[in-house]
Structure 1
Amino acid sequence: MYGITGTRPPRGDGQHLLVVVDDPGDTELLATTLELAGYRVGTAGTGAEGMARLARHRFDLVVWDTGLPGLRELARGRRTPPADRPPLLFLASCDALHHLVPELGPGREDYVTKPVRIPEVLARVQVLLRGRRPAAPTGVPCYGDLVLDDATCRASRGPRPLDLTPAEYRLLHHLLANAEHVLSKEQICRHVWGEYRADQAIEKLVSRLRRKVDQEDPNLIHTRRGFGYWLGCTSR
């Protein structure tokens, strides 16, 4: 049984997870909880975006909402050698289980039913990842000439090292992991500090990081007024 008082929730070891869910509330809940549990998390809001991210990067596990299109392409990917594809955790409605369950591959695919229950998700993720080493970053995390080294917690922009504080590094890593996606101040607070802080604290942190990162063109850290911050090459 999940959630028994006194038990410690499962924790990750830096594995890279992709969450492909179209509901923004579920996306934020899953991404924030998984990050706080020790995983690196990327997100996608459509099946096409999820498939594109899978084509560009290596992930240790994929959480996929079965209500999204793209399951056929995902199923074709199951024919690749097991070492080359990540385990799959499906989010499924109860009335879809009779279609989904017969297709599940032994040991590498599982499901949880909606509405999402976080303790169950964490437990299923831990089981699917058991015995798997975190994916080698193969150029990730990076964006253009911005490179992060998670082994040493150091970052550089081209040949120039960035002298970042721990909070600045966590913020930059979070922005990079969600490149070209706007992150709200609340999302940033939860990732950097694990709790909500005043808007002024976030603005000061982003300002310090921007001064260190954007000393050359193109600028990478941008503000979407009223929404939050994002990392990318062009302004919106």
Structure 2
Amino acid sequence: MPSILESLRNQVVPAWHKQGLMDDPVSVTAGPLSVEQAIGNPGRSDFPIQKGKEKLMEACFRHARGQAFTDSYGTFSGTLAQVAALPLDGNFQRAVFVSVLNAVLRWQQCVTNTVHCKDCGPKDCARDLPAHIIRRYGRCRVTLAGMQPAMIESLAGVLPLRVVDLDPDNIGQERRGVGIEGADTAQDALAWADLLLVTGTTLANNSIGDFLQHTPQKPVLFYGTTIAGAAQLMGWQRYCPRSS
């Protein structure tokens, strides 16, 4: 069975061929953004990107931009055909493909909100999250996958919440009375939840299948710019209201 990313590639590459994009002498570039370029000044210093754990890769296709968070970053320049031929067996290659996918779909006007919000955007996004969840899913038990401190603070005390993360520096910490759990209790946390709130970075690091296997028994709500294009193509729910 092809992986989810391979399935996405099999879906879009024939369309790129048909539109004549593969052979166009168009440069596709992706490079790691600085913290300020990525999220500006959000008024706090505990986002993963600020700790150097991740970088936001940005791809430019013609005049459109697409992004992907990754812990394995660098630069890439080539044609769309070269991107389509990348092996998807490493986090760097996957981040390049995902960011380029987002950029191309943005250029094709198939998707919006592919560029991360800045400054007050992350705070406002987290502030509005509980109401969004209650409106769409009711007052449900939420397991948040991915250390997103502003979202934890916004959800804690409003909805029953568990948080799982794979970063050993985060596991065992407590935020607003919610303990950060690791891999040893992750499956229990996922089974406990009525709703899985999952970072889109799971697409680039190839762990997304761990969460989608729980559907359709329970809904999955992805957040962030990384999964913009894939969510549009696959019909997944995404929360990313402050991105552009």
TM-based fold match above 0.5: no
Q: Which has the higher contact order (CA 8 A, sep 6+)?
A: 2
Q: Name the TM-score, length of structure 1 as normaliser.
A: 0.31
